[in-house]
Structure 1
């Protein structure tokens, strides 16, 4: 049942994003008076529809996204129609190709703006500094001499970094030394940390985590210990077995040491402190077997609402940071500082879609915004058959001031298709290998 729910919500997620993407192409093509032969909701054989002017608006068999068919769009399409795609100036064709990814960016910004107008998670002013809350023993951070309570005041030339800045540089710099300036008890200390490549996640790992009060943001599927003990979303975890908790790593460390024995958790709910006994459960949901209580954690946040201008500004900033992270991620893979195993495909996205939908509209909309931004950036990669490949060929033709031959275009698009299918097969293999035991 869960599998079918995941598939359904994946179809909803991807379907909306692809339709928005194709609407971008459609509106741009209409603006430049390109003849549009079909606008399809879905792929495959036509089921039903209607014709408006020269365009066939159709519903097709596989309701998974959609496409726009423009006259003369594909290499080899022969047409003398002055309104065909190929008859238009290259700069107009470039805008039409760019309009699809641009609409995905607009969707991501619009969704996050709407979320922030309803519920904006704000970090308390006292916890915005990048203070180390936990250091994993024998990790790169520990070997560099970093201690709990150290404040990172400069990282790789960035003054007063946030933990988001720290995270981006950590995961994208496996094997690369990162210079740090720490504030330890009023003294400034210079150290260098070199993240290692985490084979499980495929990204850089330094072995530190932020100091912050942590609160329950949700439950881990299949692990019911915390739920059975009465912990709910919004509870702030203060201590476990008498040891203060200022990071998720500290919680995991104590749970590992408990070896399955019940643990006592001190937590705060609406300002009132409570204690509860929790029986840890052994799980492999993270890819390795370990003791868990089944809570998803996040730093304590203050929830507020933003006005439209404030929400729009914050949304643009959030999406710019996310785009930077995606770029760093792709750059890390190309430079072999990150593993391609960290790429996730439709199976994993289906799991995330189902989990987000079951958690609520806010989580699902947030996931849609994130995936929409990823789709925009992926489509802009200079791979023939994608929008980025079309844009690249148009730019080459603009520099050459002549068209590439039909044979060259067909060959390039065939190679692009083969490469894209290879990527699809790889991410599918990645997804399946993460599900299968061992």
Structure 2
């Protein structure tokens, strides 16, 4: 007979060690994204019918004086802002019949009656809010903890590695990699790890002279601090405190903000690079994960400390912002793509075309969701 007393502690550990951190991370990212839509819409004079965290049946909610229904729903895997006149929570298309039933005052604040630029700003504000959240978290981390960096000087070259084949020697200092100047060993790592299989032009300083060489990073599977295995590019060089001279950089408030924005830009650039390589078949599909993997990462991050969990919020927020800007309806990027087409032809896109595009886009989104779920549960 199963010992119930042995099961209960395990359930408690799963609940508070995994589910609670997961929902914290997800709800913060979703709330900020939807609040971006909400604030931009209100500033543009658009009426909001509902602001929902989660989908499905309402668990809790209240109606504000301006008529907006604020609600917490049963399925906390997303959220939406429903504007006045929307056919659905996705603002997918114009429901002429529904619009005809609106009063004149309601038509003035309906989403689909607004100028194109107001609709575009409102849609873009969601992903933009995610980027702002990421930058704010990174800035706070820099301001509180500073940053430890190593100079880009090589302490050791692994035998038979791409670096050894390229003639890189201990004591060499990186000046640039792939045309990008580097100031720290971390800068070298950021460039190399995402470029497995790509020949990289490297400029080094050796005995006061500049030397050029080419190294092609090899694929290596490495564990992360959160227990995930990732496939990255390595050239086979390391540094240490004796050679690389570890320094701590301290940031003032303005410097921290600038560094936070730069870090967000780096994350966006690396993510974009990964996506291009993935589409070209040059990245492992197992690098993509869904809710199950995010939950596992959230639990591990919470176990390492609250600052790790907050950094995961920042990374996931930037990732969600990028994902939502993909030109696929019903994602925000899909809306913006149709608005761009509307601006080019200078008239609304026919409802039949819009509906067909959204159906195809929805199938693509569902297929992607099934793909990452399969990776989470069975594929990897």
User: Taking structure 1 as the reference length, what is the TM-score of the superposition?
Assistant: 0.73
Q: Residues 123-155 of structure 1, C-alpha deviation per residue, up to 9 Å, x if partnerless?
A: 2xxx32x22233333332232232333222232
> Using the alignment, how far apart are the partners of 1:183 and 1:364 within structure 2?
39
What residue in structure 1 maps to residue 341 of structure 2?
Answer: 396
What residue in structure 1 maps to residue 5 of structure 2?
Answer: none
> Using the alignment, how far apart are the partners of 1:74 and 1:142 within structure 2?
55
Structure 1 stretches (4+) deviating beyond 6 angstroms?
A: 199-202
What residue in structure 1 maps to residue 70 of structure 2?
Answer: 57
Tell me if structure 2 keeps the 8 A contact 1:172–1:203: no
Tell me if structure 2 keeps the 8 A contact 1:121–1:302: yes
Q: Residues 1-47 of structure 1, C-alpha deviation per residue, up to 9 Å, x if partnerless?
A: 44432222111101111011111111111122222111123221123
Deviation at 1:300, TM superposition (A): 5.2
Q: Residues 370-393 of structure 1, C-alpha deviation per residue, up to 9 Å, x if partnerless?
A: 111111111111111110111111
> Using the alignment, how far apart are the partners of 2:249 and 2:187 within structure 1?
22
Q: 2:39 aligns with which of 27, 30, 42?
A: 27
Q: 1:163 aligns with which of 181, 185, 193?
A: 185
What residue in structure 1 maps to residue 356 of structure 2?
Answer: 411
Q: Residues 134-177 of structure 1, C-alpha deviation per residue, up to 9 Å, x if partnerless?
A: 33333322322323332222322234453343223323333321
1:376 aligns with 2:321: yes
User: Taking structure 2 as the reference length, what is the TM-score of the superposition?
Assistant: 0.83
Tell me if structure 1 keeps the 8 A contact 2:173–2:205: yes
- Residue segments in structure 2 that go unaligned for 5+ positions in a row: 1-9, 101-106, 223-228
Q: Residues 185-240 of structure 1, C-alpha deviation per residue, up to 9 Å, x if partnerless?
A: 44543321122344786755233243123xxxxxxxxxxxxxxxxxxxxxxxx9xx
> Using the alignment, how far apart are the partners of 2:263 and 2:115 within structure 1?
35
**Greater per-residue helix proportion:** 2
> Using the alignment, how far apart are the partners of 1:133 and 1:434 within structure 2?
39
Tell me if structure 2 keeps the 8 A contact 1:172–1:337: no
- Residue segments in structure 1 that go unaligned for 5+ positions in a row: 214-237, 239-245, 248-298
> Using the alignment, how far apart are the partners of 2:249 and 2:179 within structure 1?
32
What residue in structure 2 maps to residue 89 of structure 1?
Answer: 115
> Using the alignment, how far apart are the partners of 1:63 and 1:155 within structure 2?
43
What is the DSSP-based 3-state SS (H/G/I as helix, E as strand, rest coil) of the residue aligned with 1:122? Answer: strand
Deviation at 1:112, TM superposition (A): 2.0
What residue in structure 1 maps to residue 199 of structure 2?
Answer: 177
> Using the alignment, how far apart are the partners of 2:14 and 2:131 within structure 1?
29
> Using the alignment, how far apart are the partners of 1:105 and 1:91 within structure 2?
21
What residue in structure 1 maps to residue 282 of structure 2?
Answer: 337
**Greater per-residue strand proportion:** 1
Aligned residues: 348
What residue in structure 1 maps to residue 19 of structure 2?
Answer: 7
Tell me if structure 2 keeps the 8 A contact 1:132–1:208: no
> Using the alignment, how far apart are the partners of 1:362 and 1:160 within structure 2?
27
Deviation at 1:400, TM superposition (A): 0.8
What is the DSSP-based 3-state SS (H/G/I as helix, E as strand, rest coil) of the residue aligned with 1:39? Answer: strand
Tell me if structure 1 keeps the 8 A contact 2:56–2:73: yes
Tell me if structure 1 keeps the 8 A contact 2:30–2:53: no
